[in-house]
Chains A and B, each alone.
Chain A
Amino acid sequence: MFKRLSPPEATNEAVVTFHFDEQTVTARLGDTVAAALLTSGISICRSTPVSNAPRAPYCMMGVCFECLVEVDGNPNVQACQVEVRDGMHVHTQQGARRLTS
């Protein structure tokens, strides 16, 4: 659904790979996790706490909290506020987070 204005190979930015649930995803260094998911055709990043409805990144600027994901075991992370790193493990945020002390 989304396309980069220029393909990754046309820039000098390094390519990074990370994991989203069971998938391996390729992105460009400097991408936010939200941008990387959208450009890879992944449009569901979480389900809502109240009705379990699917959600996707929306505002891309840290305001709407639609893009919550789990990053390296850390729940409720705003995917649009975190840059991708090589080998990162990103998971869908299913409903509200569980609290683990």
Chain B
Amino acid sequence: MQQCDFAVIGGGLVGSAIAYGLASQGHQVSILDEGDVAYRASRGNFGLVWVQGKGQEIPRYSQWSMRSASKWSALSQELFELTGVATQHHNPGGVHLCYSEAELASREVDLDALSQATDRQFSFKMLNHSQLHDLIPEIGESVTGASWSSWDGHANPLYLLRALHAGIRCHGGRFLAVGKVKEIRRNGESYVIESNHQTITADRVILAAGLGNRELAPQVGLDAPLIPNRGEILVTERMRPLLNLPTTYLRQTGEGSILMGDSHEDVGFNDGTETPVLAQIAKRAVRALPALANTRVVRSWGALRVMTPDGYPLYQASESHPGAFIACCHSGVTLAAAHAKCLAPWFAGAEAPSEITPFTAERFHVQTSIPA
């Protein structure tokens, strides 16, 4: 039986960032990964490190995203020096494209409210067509303008995952392909985790299994009402640089391919693709960058976002099971630095980061309003 300080269930971006943070602080960490039968949201995502527009309803989410974005360059550099794997992180700012004056005006109202709610920590600029054209010379005529924020950037999520896994190994952590975790039970002060292939004991257990958390959470007195939400992505052949900053649904990778994405589909656990959806994504991309009409699409795929009912993350310590925690969100790339540098220390006993207090599961439970 394997023994460790921390068992992190789930080897995707959330679990790996946490495990990296813990291992780099000197803890003995094992990642328990289900294997390639898992839904693997971390292998199918888009790769934005994104702040603008997030946290409209809960501004602390904006602050949490900014905390992570501000630590991203240092994390990327640290991983490169440790492992030799470059995440291709760039922070040239990002744009959200708008197609009418009305859309631009309402975007400005929303982002201004967000900026105010974060005491102007979140900052942005509105760009008209010609200002946008200066940033992206290939921009389509029908794009009216955009919102721009210096907070935004992008990275290659597959290299990030590889770098985290390598970093965990460098710090003595273990990546165990154990198959599906079947049971988590208390044994004195520690936890016994039974999986398909192995039994592991750990002082603390962190649930970072994405959609798999739904079944694991109740075993340690937690609740994870997660819903899959499908996004489909198309990727083109490699091209010379033509888009030097990311947009909400288009970005050019370090190798030169263009990713087009961002469908939001409620299709249960179906992670396939559908031609009409792909066609819609391609059409919107060509509208934004007309030059793309001549490019070849070389791959497309679907992946399932890990969504809570309100779209915000879930971070919680179990009250009934001390030492058991849950962490899930759909922004594993953006939040990787916060997960490694701020969330991991909390699991190891430090005070919880102030930004995450709203993100417990109680917010999904039936509320009674108490008259003042």
Contact = CB atoms under 8 A, between A and B. Distances in A.
B238 A101 contact: no
B242 A99 contact: yes
Contacts of A50: 254-255
Query: Which 4 pairs of residues, A with B, have the shortest CB-CB distance?
Result: A101-B291, A96-B256, A96-B238, A99-B291
- Interface secondary structure of A, over-half rule: loop
A23 interface: no
Interface string B237-275: 111101000000000001110000000000000000000
Interface string B284-305: 0000001111111010000000
Interface-centre pick from B238, B240, B254, B291 (highest chain A CB count, 10 A)? B238
A49 interface: yes
B203 interface: no
A68 B295 CA distance: 14
A6 to B, nearest CB: 35
Contacts of A65: 298
A12 interface: no
Contacts of B296: 76
B313 to A, nearest CB: 35
B240 A95 contact: yes
B138 interface: yes
Nearest to B298: A65
A27 B67 CA distance: 62
A6 B322 CA distance: 77
A76 B237 contact: yes
A72 to B, nearest CB: 14
10 contacts: A65-B298, A76-B296, A95-B240, A97-B237, A98-B239, A99-B240, A99-B242, A99-B291, A100-B294, A101-B291
Contacts of B242: 99
B291 A100 contact: yes
Given A49-B255, A49-B256, A76-B296, A96 B290 contact: no
A98 B298 CA distance: 16
Interface residues of A, number: 11
Contacts of B239: 96-99
A49 B257 CA distance: 10
A99 B294 contact: yes
Contacts of B254: 50
Contacts of A98: 239-240
Contacts of B298: 65
Contacts of B290: 101
B254 to A, nearest CB: 8
Interface in A68-101: 76, 95-101
A49 B238 CA distance: 7
A96 B253 CA distance: 12
Interface string A25-52: 0000000000000000000000001100
B88 to A, nearest CB: 11
A61 B256 CA distance: 24
Contacts of A96: 238-240, 256
A76 B296 CA distance: 9
B288 to A, nearest CB: 13
Given A97-B240, A99-B239, A101-B290, 17 more contacts: A49-B255, A49-B256, A50-B254, A50-B255, A65-B298, A76-B237, A76-B238, A96-B238, A96-B239, A96-B256, A97-B239, A98-B239, A99-B292, A99-B295, A100-B294, A101-B291, A101-B294
A2 B121 CA distance: 65
A50 B239 CA distance: 11
B291 A97 contact: no
B263 to A, nearest CB: 24
A48 B89 CA distance: 21
A59 to B, nearest CB: 15
Contacts of A76: 237-238, 296
Interface-centre pick from A99, A100, A101 (highest chain B CB count, 10 A)? A99
Contacts of B237: 76, 97
A49 B253 CA distance: 12
A50 B257 CA distance: 11
B138 to A, nearest CB: 7
Interface in B132-155: 138
A53 to B, nearest CB: 13
A97 B241 CA distance: 10
Interface-centre pick from B239, B292, B295, B296 (highest chain A CB count, 10 A)? B239
